[in-house]
Amino acid sequence: MDFLIFKAPMLMVQASLDGILLGILFALIAYGMALQWGVMNIINIAQGDLVILGGYIAYTMYLVGIHPAWGVIVSPIIMYFVGVLLYKLVINKVVDRDLFISILATFGIAIVFQQLMNFIFGADVVVAQSEYGTTMLFDNSVTLPNSKIFSAFISVLYAVALVVYMKKSRLGRAIRATAQNARAAKILGVDTEKVYAATFGINAALCGIAGALISITLTLHPYVGLPYTVRSFMIVIVAGLGNLPAVALSGMGLGLFEEFADYILGTEFRIGAVFMLLVFILVYRRFKLSKKREYLK
């Protein structure tokens, strides 16, 4: 086996650092996924498309002439309202129903989003230039774009802010109460309808932040949303709902896996490797549980 990565230790360092920084970003999206799954019991296939939409908001700012990094503030605000609107239109009808219905309904939303983004922003691969430069490490053998460091930093900042918000604020406590027992929360005077709308809005806002960061670190294209959905789904099933350190860790693990798969299998199999990993994780969990005669719930 003559893989380049095993010959050059510096490439390993490069891939690891890239993977960890990327993984933090994935963890942010996965946190939104876990939030809505835990609170509303829906699986949102359109998650990745919300991310891409958030990215295009930052890209539009870049086109207008504003620095795209401001997108991490503007994009979540716009996306919050997109999320609430989406909740009022569609999502409120799939809460409390069979999970497959939410999967299919959000699949429909995803298709609509993809096509609309294709109309508005065109089918080209775009990237917003942040012009942050790169950091050189270890005698210039490892290059790290500053935009990636920036994006990881912002992700951590927002994640910490959200955790504090969920712990301390009134709405945060209402959301947690609804997640534990929606009926009891309702009896005790929580307006669950509002809580659901806010949860979905917060999730969309998280996607907006992640999208804005992706617009400066990676690339945007109307049809690349689904891999982000699958990544966040994968992180959530590995980490469990509502376990933030585990979400961060498995996010980084996924980032590492992807970077190494990229080097070892080649870039053309990168997305395929992500989807195969999903299948393997599910099958592994299934065999592990079936020893106890249980199954994934």
Partner 1 sequence: MSNIKQKDLILYSGLIILGLAAPYLFSAFKVQLTYLCVLIVLAMTWNLQGGEMGYNTFGNILFYGLGMYLTASVQVGMFFPLAEWTESGGEKTFVHSTAQYFQGIGVGLLVSAIIPAIVAGAIGYAILGLRGHYFAICTLGLGIAAGEIAGGIEIIGAGQGFTTPPFPAEIVDTEARGKFFYFLSFALLIGTFIFVKYIYGSRFKLILNAIRDNEDKAEAMGIQTMKYKITGWMCSAFFCGLAGGIMGGLIGYIDSTDVAFDGREMGVFMVLMAILGGKGTLWGPVIGATLFHFFKEGLWTLILGWQYVALGVLIVVIVIYFPEGLMGWLREKYPERFGEVIDEKDRKAQVELK
Query: Least distance (Å) from partner 1 to the CB of residue 134?
Result: 29
Query: Least distance (Å) from partner 1 to the CB of residue 120?
Result: 12
Nearer to partner 1, 100 or 153 (CB): 100
Secondary element (H or E) of residue 137: strand 134-137
Nearer to partner 1, 103 or 126 (CB): 103
The CA distances from residue 228 to 51, 75, 252, in Å, are 8, 18, 14
Query: Least distance (Å) from partner 1 to the CB of residue 201?
Result: 19
Nearer to partner 1, 184 or 279 (CB): 279
The residue among 29, 30, 78 whose CA lies nearest residue 53 is 78
User: Cα dihedral angle (11, 14, 20, 22), rounded to 10 degrees?
Assistant: -110
Nearer to partner 1, 103 or 149 (CB): 103
Query: Least distance (Å) from partner 1 to the CB of residue 258?
Result: 13
CB 210 within 8 A of CB 25: yes
CA-CA distance, 76 to 214, in Å (whole number)? 13
Nearer to partner 1, 173 or 285 (CB): 285
Query: Least distance (Å) from partner 1 to the CB of residue 122?
Result: 13
Using the structure block, give the residue that is written with the tokens 């990168």: 270
Query: Least distance (Å) from partner 1 to the CB of residue 231?
Result: 11
List of residues contacting partner 1 (CB under 8 A): 43, 90, 93-94, 99-101, 103-105, 107-116, 119, 226, 230, 233, 237, 266, 268-269, 271-272, 275-276, 278-279, 282-283, 286-287, 290, 295-297
Q: Which ranges of the chain would DSSP assign to H, the alpha helix?
A: 4-7, 9-40, 47-64, 71-89, 99-121, 146-168, 170-180, 182-187, 192-217, 225-239, 244-265, 270-290
CB 45 within 8 A of CB 107: yes
Nearer to partner 1, 171 or 271 (CB): 271
